[in-house]
Amino acid sequence: MIAGSEFKLKYAGSVFGYAWSVAKPLALFTVLYLVFARIFKLGAISDYYAVSLLLGIVLFGLFSDATSLGMTSLVARESLLRKLVFPRLVIPMAATITAGLTFLVNLMVVAGFVAWEQVTPRLDWLLVIPLLVELYSFTLGLALILATLFVRFRDMGQVWELGLQLLFYASPIIYPIGFLPPFARDLVFLNPFTQVLQDIRALVLYPDLPGNTITAGEAFETFGRLIPIGIAAATLVIGLLLFKREEPWFAERV
């Protein structure tokens, strides 16, 4: 309920609120597509390079929006913290849900591209939902950790901005994961974001072309996806515990 009002608040001031949320990833997509598909000819490696790229950008948009909005949310809503009694968890939750709603709007655009590529819909696309739940849990966990730290160290803002930039290039968004040497690939697959992205790509775009994509399941043979899924779950648990521990002090420290 409160998340709903937060979402309303976010777009209340700006006329083009919703439009901007679609325009930003599309603009980034256009630039990256022109550079990498047209100039570096990465488009040749797969029929679906464009959709695959856009999917990566939109998913990363969710990850980056939710973590950075979540991080600053407590400080931004300082007056609520100081004057109102309510579960503090609501604030970062609302911030991540706001990012989630923007993501859902963007997902429509991706769906448009998928339809345009004339991929036949299948029932197992429903598996995308638990994958998104996993990504959201991971993101929320990170947002809680960052929000707690940000109350004490304001330059977490700078640190995380850099962190996001590194993670963007350390994830197979622009390039196919097959371009990485095996050790780097395993490292990158430790990030639940990479696992989710690759799984969704494999599920939606490459069901008939198994050679074109690699998922975490293939990278870590024995434990497979359990490794990044475990990391995502652990992040959420650590985030919740840390947040609960620091909760009583937010009002006076913020």
Partner 1 sequence: MSRPVIDVSGVSKAFRLPHERRTTLKEHVLHPFHRTTYEVQQALDDVSFTVQEGEFFGIIGPNGSGKSTLLKILAGIYRQDSGTVRVDGRLSPFIELGVGFNPELTARDNVRINGTLLGLGKAELEDRFDAIFEFAGLERFIDQKLKNFSSGMHVRLAYSIAIQVEFDVLLLDEVLAVGDAEFQEKCFATFLGFRDQRKTIVLVTHGVETLTELADCVLLLRAGRVEALGDAPEVVARYQGQLVV
DSSP, res 179: G
Q: Which long-range contacts (CB under 8 A, 24 or more apart) does 223-228 make?
A: 225/195, 225/199, 227/189, 227/190, 228/189, 228/190, 228/191, 228/192, 228/194, 228/195, 228/196
> Shortest Cβ distance from residue 144 to partner 1 (Å)?
19
Residues 250, 151: contact at Cβ < 8 Å?
Answer: yes
Using the rule CB under 8 A, give the single segment among 4-12, 24-32, 42-50, 134-142 that binds partner 1. 4-12
Rounded to an integer, what distance in angstroms lies between the CA atom of residue 75 and that of residue 72?
6
By CB under 8 A, what part of segment 164-193 binds partner 1? none
Smaller CB separation from partner 1, 38 or 82: 82
Q: Which of 18, 20, 86, 223 binds partner 1 (CB under 8 A)?
A: 86
Determine if 221 is a binding residue for partner 1 (CB under 8 A).
no
By beta-carbon proximity to partner 1, the closer residue of 86 and 169 is: 86
Residue 142: CB minimum distance to partner 1, A: 18
Q: Does 1 bind partner 1 (CB under 8 A)?
A: yes
Q: Which range of residues in 73-81, 125-133, 165-173, 210-218 is near partner 1 by CB under 8 A?
A: 73-81
248 is a contact residue toward partner 1 (CB under 8 A): yes
Provide the token pair at 150. 């940000």
Q: How many chain residues touch partner 1 (CB under 8 A)? A: 25
Q: Are 228 and 189 in contact (CB under 8 A)?
A: yes
The least distance separating partner 1 from the CB of residue 141, rounded to whole angstroms, comes to: 21
CA distance linking residue 135 with residue 129, whole number of Å: 10
Two structure tokens written together for 129: 């939902």
41: left (phi over 0), alpha (psi -120 to 50) or beta: left
Contact residue for partner 1 among 15, 39, 44, 83 (CB under 8 A) = 83
Q: Position 88: which residue type?
A: R
Mask: binding to partner 1, 130-169, rule CB under 8 A, as x and -?
----------------------xxxxx--x----------
> Which residue in the set 38, 41, 82, 245 belongs to the binding site for partner 1 (CB under 8 A)?
82
**C-beta separation of 203 from 127 below 8 A:** yes
Contact call for residue 5 and partner 1 (CB under 8 A): yes
The dihedrals phi and psi of 241, each to the nearest 5 degrees, come to: -65, -45
Binding site for partner 1 (CB under 8 A): 1-2, 5, 8-9, 12-13, 79-86, 152-156, 159, 248-249, 251-252
